[in-house]
Amino acid sequence: MADTPFLYKILLYPIKSLPPVEVLEARVSRFGGLEWDRRLALVAGDGGFVNGKRERRLHLVRARFSLERGLVYLSACCGGEEVYSLEDLEGMSGWFSRFLGYPVRVVEDPAGFPDDVENPGPTVVSTATLAELAGWFGWDLMQARLRIRANLEVWSREPFWEDRLYPGSRGRVVFRVGEVLMEGRGVSARCVVPSRDPFTGAVERGFQKRVAEMRKPMLRGKYPEGDHGYRLAVNTRILPGQEGKTIRVGDPVEVVEEVLRG
């Protein structure tokens, strides 16, 4: 199996912008994403999301999840850990409001709060990509993983293996993870978050520029000339008819249809 791409890790983000929980399997929801991924989010008084782009202090929050018990354990800085039911939106809202020093509401949507609302499937990256990225900046693999925040990590020996899942506007690629069919919909344009240390929020100077310079040649033909090139991991759409199916760590990942036009 070592030479065949397979699903190496599944990471869900029950609360958008907070640390992930690693699971052995995940089920496809009726909304086209993975159950529990970004189901909860933080919202400020102006109605906007309180996320890593807007609030750097979220990098200081530690969150441990027990999805089986429906619990989250929250802590930050030198404070003690507090436990909340994931249904206790009011209690969690109070915790974040006290930590941040302004009113914050925790809101819930079973459909989730994906970054790409048009393509709410799981994001995909390869372990080799994370290792390559870590090598560029002197990180360990965990640092790269927490910065990129992908849902599905595919074991492959080839850095940027996931790029093949999106051929650009000239075609489409359908691939299978276990029994679940997905389509690559684009190489994700990144925000400022990957440039920050996931534990402290400290900025890696020159990160965006270096990634863009390295990636532009790799993405040639997928995007128009002049594209910024600051892209990492692939956004997906889960195909119709997959609701209720389960993906599992160890599942093979294989391209089943590739159509190129022009």
SS3 letters for 8-44? EEEEECCECCCCCEEECEEEECCCCCECCCCCEEEEE
% of residues, the chain, pLDDT over 90: 93
pLDDT band at 78 (very low <50, low <70, confident <90, very high): confident
Confidence check: pLDDT of 234 > 90 = yes
Contact predicate 132/162, CB 8 Å: no
Is residue 11 scored above 80 in pLDDT?
A: yes
Contact at 8 Å (CB) between 126 and 161?
Answer: yes
Phi first, then psi: give them for residue 246, nearest 5 degrees: -120, 135
The predicted model gives 95-103 an average pLDDT of 97
Structure tokens at 144: 């790269």
pLDDT of residue 169: 83
Q: Is the pLDDT of residue 49 over 80?
A: yes
CA distance 228 to 173: 23
Which position has the higher pLDDT, 112 or 261? 112
Reply yes or no on whether the pLDDT at 248 is more than 70: yes
User: Tell me: the pLDDT tens digits for 148-161?
Assistant: 999 999 999 999 99
Please say whether the dihedral angle defined by the alpha carbons of residues 18, 77, 139 and 204, taken in this order, is positive or negative: positive
Q: Please state, as a whole number, how many other Cβ atoms lie within 10 Å of the Cβ of residue 209.
A: 12
Q: Confidence band (pLDDT; 50, 70, 90) for 262?
A: low
**pLDDT attached to residue 77:** 82
> DSSP secondary-structure letter at 137?
H
137: number of Cβ within 10 Å: 15
pLDDT (tens digit per residue) in 174-199: 999 999 999 999 999 999 999 999 99
For residue 258, the Cα-to-chain-centroid distance in whole angstroms is 24
Tokens of 112: 């989730």
Checking if the pLDDT of 2 tops 70, the result is: no
Answer for the pair 27, 244: CB distance below 8 angstroms, yes or no: yes
* pLDDT score, position 170: 81
Fold held by 6-10+114-260? M1 Pyruvate Kinase; Domain 3 (2.40.33)
Over residues 257-262, mean pLDDT: 79
Here the tokens at position 147 are 């910065």
Query: How many CA atoms within 13 Å lie on the side-chain side of 220?
Result: 5
Asked if residue 48 has pLDDT above 60, the reply is yes
**Percent share of the chain, pLDDT over 70:** 98
Q: What is the mean pLDDT of the chain?
A: 96
Q: What is the C-alpha separation between 207 and 196, in angstroms, rounded?
A: 9
Backbone angles phi, psi at 106, to 5 degrees: -95, 125
For CATH 2.40.33, the residue range(s) in the chain are 6-10+114-260
Confidence of residue 79 (pLDDT cuts 50, 70, 90): confident
